Amino acid sequence: MTLKPIVLLSVVALLGESAALAESCKVQSSHPPGQWKFIRVYDVRTGAVVLGQAVNGGDAKSVTVRGHRIKLEAKLPGALHYGPAVEADCKEGQTVKI
């Protein structure tokens, strides 16, 4: 087998795996509108941060992860530390409230 087919098969395998395993969902602030919350969302499978921003109460942000689990942390403005992390499923566009 020459190098060209090996490279082509490797690329197809990697692209097929990443597309098949990706899930997306929405993370929504459970606070009332006008009250901001800092949210940090991790992909449990890779440990990477997939969302890190302030979110207005009631607003939802989309996240995409390689597996189907996310870890969420939140804090209010002025707080020094994020609260305890919670894990949740991230599948089929569902909404996870924090």
Residue 29 has what pLDDT?
A: 95
Query: CA 7, CA 47: separation in Å to the nearest integer?
Result: 28
Residue 27 has what pLDDT?
A: 96
Residue 6 has what pLDDT?
A: 53
Domains present along the chain, CATH in parentheses:
23-97 (2.60.40)
* Exposure letters 35-69 (e unless 16+ CB within 10 A, then b): eebbbbbbbbeeeeebbeeebeeebeeebebbebb
Residue 22 has what pLDDT?
A: 87
Q: Which residue ranges of the chain lie beneath pLDDT 50?
A: 7-8, 11-12, 14-19
What is the average pLDDT score of the chain? 86
